[in-house]
Structure 1
Amino acid sequence: MLAVTGFHFEAPAIFGGFVGVDIFFVISGYLITGIIASEIAAGRFSFARFYERRVRRLLPALYVMVALTAIPASHDLLSSERAEFLRAAAAVVTFTSNLFFWQQAGYFDHAAVEKPLLHTWSLAVEEQFYLVLPVAVWAVLRIARGRRLVLPLTLGGLALAAFASAVILMREGASATAFFMSPARAWEFLLGSLVAVSALPAPRAGLVQQAARGLSLLLMAVPIFALRPGPGFPGVNALAPCLGAALFLWSGTGIADVPRHRLSPLNVAAFVGRISYSLYLWHWPIFAFARFAKPGLALDGSERIALFALTVVVSYLSWRFVERPFRTKAIAPTPRAVFGLAAAASVLLLLGAGAGLMLNGSTSEADRAAQRLDAYNSYDMKPVYRYGSCFTTPDGRVPDDCLRLVAGKTNILLWGDSFAAHYYHGLTASLDAESVNIMQASQPTCMPTFSAETQGVASCRAFASQMRDYFAQARPDLVVMSADWLENARPPRFDGMVRDLRQTLARLHDAGIPVVLLGPSVQFRTRLPSMLARATLRGVTPDPETFTRSDIFALDQAMQAALPTGEGVSYLSILSAVCEQRRCPLTVGGAPLSFDHAHLTAEGSDYVMAKVAPLLRPSVTEFSSRQHADDRAHQAGGEGARDD
């Protein structure tokens, strides 16, 4: 639970904290299967009693969270987001929120933080598993007639089939299906189930047990700190934390509880465990709505710490006054009462969601204006960036057409990653196409250097190799280099980035190829369209200083100081050209400068290059004049040879 909360609250180094959900699935399968199997063996199992416990455990705190979250949702969300929230609430009640969010943007996509009920997908997966598992275990044990291996073998076979389906889905590019769908997640629950029913002997106390416990912690900790969010999860990447959780459970088999000191860290962990369900329910909507209250939609470190403390308090109150009374039967003491109350609450929530959807039809002008800005979150950048041709190709190499020199024109090559590609549209609009030929060589995340060994991605190594070969035989009149310097310079990588750039600049200089290196692009604290939409919705005038990242200015100065300038090499500060007194533009003609945190829209690219192109024109003119002088000298030399 702490891993999940740390990931969502953007705690430092908790890059893969989302695997906490996978670890929980293993624990859940272990507990539930163990309870079912033991009750069946004792002749005490009852489907009604099982589902009564599940209702008491899950629904009261969940329904209270949904109802209370609807209050800020009514005024903090765009009308389209309110409608989605209400539909999500209905999906929560019907145990189908995983299906609902599967049809929306992915869990790791930009819009995820604007979905206050997104985290309920895992509860839907859990609830769906609970609908199937008791029936399956009961049926297998009836058929087994006392044969002990039948149940673990059956569960093991089902786990392997579910894991295989998840891997196949990942390989076919259906990572969202593998993430949200119960069949592809079932192996995680079943892994815990196997620990519960396999009857494996307990590890011997001492070295064996300690080794098992240490290995299990390592298997869980490494993904939490090292795994990165993205389409590569779950699948094989989920295997280590799940195996770690299973090994941890097994390593504790038969071990008696040990009394702990009142201030022991394990008692703190036990407290988190007691409130963990309410903590999971409340942490995400609290974080989401706290962001909406900030003009820049970003929380600093102290704010996140305070928010976590608030979340713990709210979660404790939920556990104390909602969870416990239902679980101890202080409220709804009989099965009939608890099922009746659950049914009534479900109907009320569904009716409330339906009424909210009907009343949500009318929107204000501010809401419509905010929606127009928010639509840029789905901006189609492909034609603007020449996606699939001169930017983002499968093998990392750009086609020859992107690099073709044109005789009689000044040939300018734009070289780098997406932060080079986003300047192409504006550069073509700002320079005369009759006299200038603009070429483009760009690949995602690939820094424009020849040092292929520093490029950690195979496509970047291929790209660097192609550019080495290209410059060995071609000589553009000017190379314009740009990249996401802020990402490439993250500590401790700044010195290595500068070293690679120096080596590349030196090689181009030795080849007689002039270079202009563009400094850091304008970057915002989070997605600019979302920040502008929230500001418009609240009637707040956007503040460039609040929206813009301050560290780009420090990086700009550091790069200017560290990189060589002189004959054939120029450093051009984008920020100095665009951001007057460090106040960067947010919109251009009603369109956001960027469609995300930094990548320019077509309007943004035109605006920035209109400021930058005049600074390039003297270089272009100089190089063009030099080219004509070389041509005249070559021509004169040829005539002299003929006279001889």
Structure 2
Amino acid sequence: MTTLHPHLSHPKYRPDIDGLRALAVLSVVAFHAFPTGLKGGFIGVDIFFVISGYLISTIIFQNLEKGTFSFTEFYIRRIKRIFPALILVLATSYAFGWFALFADEYKQLSKHIAAGASFVSNIVLWDEAGYFDNATETKPLLHLWSLGVEEQFYLAWPLILWFAWGRNFNLLTVTIVVAIVSFYLNIKGILTDSVGAFYSPQTRFWELQCGSLLAWITLYRKDAYAGFKTGLDKWLAAVVYRDSRHQVDGKTLNNAFSFAGLSLLVYGFYVINKDLEFPGKWAIVPILGAVLIIAAGPHAWVNRIVLSNRLAVWFGLISFPLYLWHWPLLSFARIVETEVPSATIRIVAVAITILLAWLTYMLVEKPIRLGKHSGVKTVALIMLMLVVGNVGYVSYLKNGLEFRQADAPAKTKMFADVKGTVLYNTPEDWVDERCHSALGTRYDYLICRFTTATPKTLVVGDSHAAQFAYDSISKGSNDLALVAVNGCLPFIDLVTINPTEEFEEKSSRCKVVMPIVLKLLRDFPSIQRVVFATRGAMYIEGSGYGDTEKKNNYRIIKDPDDRLAENYNQFISGYVASINEILKFGKAVVFIEDVPEIGVSAKNCLDDRPFRISDKDRPGCNVSRQSFDERNAKYRKAVDSIVAATHNRVRIFPAYEYLCNESTCDGLKDGASYFYDDDHLSMRGSSYIFGKFAEWLKQVTPKL
């Protein structure tokens, strides 16, 4: 059964399915180019899943039944179908990135090239989704997550069916069971891990399984429901037509299916949006719409007139390279422009995408898929993919090849001098040996560092506590200890959370901070003061600042049902409770009023890239004092309330004053950036601000 057979049988070509592919890919392209214009365009990927599940399962079912199924030929066909265009896009992205990207960006691109070549992009992107994950718009190979899901399906599903067939299991039962399990995991996952539910294969396979179920029904039960379909068609014909005597031929029902399917897709394009829990139950809309359209058959009016027209079929034929090319072009345009490109640039990018897709289809895909020497072509494609994947992986290990001219190493260090810091190292480096010894256990996400066995100052907070202290921490100076968890306020029973996080998991992170702080105060009597440092304005306002921070939408809550929580009051009460616990130990408390948020990535302010699409000026690493004051008004008012509620026993260090004057707050000083990204200090900035803190501390120490 698994020996090589001259040909696997394939389903009869249906131009309407190519037209459905066109609808899917064009909706995705439209969404990525103009996300506010077609908010639900991303559901085109779900349409692709149904098509893939239908066609692949049809091939497997037919050939298992005939005894002609061959794993070898099946995967040869997959390789010849997918590898040529993918290799070209990966190699081109690597080449363009060589000249256009900084080292940190090139390192990430190289990792994604390796992941794309290995068909695990969805797993890598799932793992990346976190506090310091950069904006999705600046990941040129982000879209390969869906290809990863499909390829994982192509690996798993034939093996499952072959195994089931060989043991005389009912393939319909197997298909339904896999679909139900996957759909259950999807519904459960959207509540417990929405990022995982989006990227993981087990929560997406049900979408392809819907296509598989349709394939089975089409092959084996088409006539079983003939009586029911005839009756339903007769009733529909009577409803639609005045004289239905000659209309009971199945066409009315098929037309109803196709119109209903198209209506569902149109509804999904305009109602579903990225703020909804997706896939979840919302994915049923595009899945059912695609199933109905395919089930309607090629002779239904929508399928025959709309989907089978020449233009739609042409876009369907180039849909795969079109999908592969569109996002790298739009993403690279976003990167080199340092902001969302103009509408003109995006339109030109889409036009170039269509041209590249057609050229790829004509000059690369067709010659390789068709013709002789199939074995030689397959081996060559595998070797090329291995080369591309390994080049990407090595470049990732080499930290993005900093020697490249595009990176300008000397200038890069002006803003990205963060090597060796506690904040940007890997989580394995966040907790040092003294902390391990003092805590006696391991904590996920915790940053805990000592510069001495007898620290005098304990800095506590989130990533802004780490950025405040990490220059001194890395140099082992100033008798410091640091305890922080990224994205968490140091509260006893309140949790800071955004929509991409789940309460139980985030609660377990955030609620470890204060117990650790209290333990350290008991175990280290040398600690004289506790310094709280957090990104206050973001938590108070509930949102980030600038285009790069739109993803942040924080709430401060006590439990998952705390729907009416108001950040301002929660911020005050949480800090008051924590500070009162510190004061019981007789320790001094200092509150850091945070540095400004500059709202743009620092690298884009300091160093021009080798080329730009437009000739506009690069952004400035500054914000007006008026904007800063407006952004921080509630935050500073909250700090005053905290001081009053703790009977003026808290001293305030206004860190922002050393980067702000009467007119602006600047992220650049003496031609160098004091910021690493849009809101975290670089090593230089950390050294500068902490130096000012040390001077301030000497002046106020007698009062502390």
Matched, 1:221 2:293: no
> Do 1:78 and 1:371's aligned partners in 2 also have CA atoms closer than 8 Å?
no
Question: What residue number does 1:250 align with?
Answer: 295
Question: What residue number does 2:241 align with?
Answer: none
In 1: Cα distance, 2:126 partner to 2:334 partner: 24
Question: What residue number does 2:146 align with?
Answer: 122
In 2: Cα distance, 1:164 partner to 1:290 partner: 39
Structure 1 residues 530 and 544 mapped into 2: Cα distance closer, same or farther (>3 Å)?
closer
User: Aligned residue pairs: how many?
Assistant: 472
- By how many angstroms is 1:155 displaced? 0.3
SS in 1 for 2:273: coil
Q: 1:325 aligns with which of 340, 343, 367?
A: 367
Q: 2:89 aligns with which of 44, 65, 77?
A: 65
> Do 2:604 and 2:618's aligned partners in 1 also have CA atoms closer than 8 Å?
no
Question: What residue number does 2:327 align with?
Answer: 284
Matched, 1:237 2:282: yes
In 2: Cα distance, 1:191 partner to 1:4 partner: 21
- By how many angstroms is 1:543 displaced? 4.3
Question: What residue number does 1:315 align with?
Answer: 357
Question: What residue number does 1:268 align with?
Answer: 311
Q: Following superposition of structure 1 onto structure 2, how do residues 196-595 of structure 1 map, counting pairs within 5 Å?
A: 196-198=215-217, 199-200=221-222, 201=225, 204=233, 205-229=250-274, 232-252=277-297, 255=300, 266-294=309-337, 296-329=338-371, 333-353=372-392, 356-357=395-396, 360=400, 362-363=402-403, 364-372=409-417, 380=463, 387=489, 420=541, 463=566, 527-529=600-602, 531-532=604-605, 535=608, 543=617, 587=668
- By how many angstroms is 1:275 displaced? 0.7
- By how many angstroms is 1:23 displaced? 1.6
In 1: Cα distance, 2:302 partner to 2:98 partner: 47
- By how many angstroms is 1:182 displaced? 1.6
- By how many angstroms is 1:273 displaced? 0.9
Question: What residue number does 1:103 align with?
Answer: 127
Q: 1:164 aligns with which of 184, 191, 196?
A: 184
Amino acid at match of 1:192: G
SS in 1 for 2:163: helix
Measured against aligned partners, the alpha-carbon deviations of 1:423-481 in whole angstroms (never above 9, x if no partner) come to: 9xxxxxxxxxxxxxxxxxxx9589xxxxxxxxxx99675649999xx9xxxxxxxxxxx
Matched, 1:135 2:159: yes
- By how many angstroms is 1:221 displaced? 2.8
Report the more deviating stretch, 84-93 or 106-115. 106-115
In 1: Cα distance, 2:57 partner to 2:289 partner: 19
SS in 1 for 2:286: helix
Q: TM-score scaled by structure 1?
A: 0.61
In 2: Cα distance, 1:256 partner to 1:464 partner: 54
In 1: Cα distance, 2:293 partner to 2:312 partner: 15
Measured against aligned partners, the alpha-carbon deviations of 1:163-208 in whole angstroms (never above 9, x if no partner) come to: 1122222222x22322222222111111110011023558644543
- By how many angstroms is 1:160 displaced? 0.4
Question: What residue number does 1:618 align with?
Answer: none
Identity of aligned residues (%): 26
In 1: Cα distance, 2:257 partner to 2:71 partner: 36
Amino acid at match of 1:156: I
SS in 1 for 2:119: coil
Structure 1 residues 279 and 394 mapped into 2: Cα distance closer, same or farther (>3 Å)?
closer
SS in 1 for 2:34: coil
Amino acid at match of 1:283: H
- By how many angstroms is 1:309 displaced? 0.7
- By how many angstroms is 1:276 displaced? 0.6
> Do 1:163 and 1:187's aligned partners in 2 also have CA atoms closer than 8 Å?
yes
In 2: Cα distance, 1:9 partner to 1:108 partner: 25
- By how many angstroms is 1:283 displaced? 0.7
Matched, 1:189 2:208: yes
Report the more deviating stretch, 308-317 or 47-56. 47-56
RMSD: 4.9
Amino acid at match of 1:342: L
Q: TM-score scaled by structure 2?
A: 0.56
> Do 1:373 and 1:591's aligned partners in 2 also have CA atoms closer than 8 Å?
no
In 2: Cα distance, 1:388 partner to 1:461 partner: 21
Measured against aligned partners, the alpha-carbon deviations of 1:19-61 in whole angstroms (never above 9, x if no partner) come to: 2212211110011101221233334322222111111100011
**Structure 1 unpaired stretches of 5+:** 397-414, 424-442, 447-456, 471-520, 557-577, 608-644
- By how many angstroms is 1:529 displaced? 3.7
> Do 1:78 and 1:370's aligned partners in 2 also have CA atoms closer than 8 Å?
no
- By how many angstroms is 1:126 displaced? 1.1
Amino acid at match of 2:354: V
In 2: Cα distance, 1:128 partner to 1:76 partner: 32
Structure 1 residues 417 and 214 mapped into 2: Cα distance closer, same or farther (>3 Å)?
farther
Question: What residue number does 1:399 align with?
Answer: none
Matched, 1:40 2:64: yes
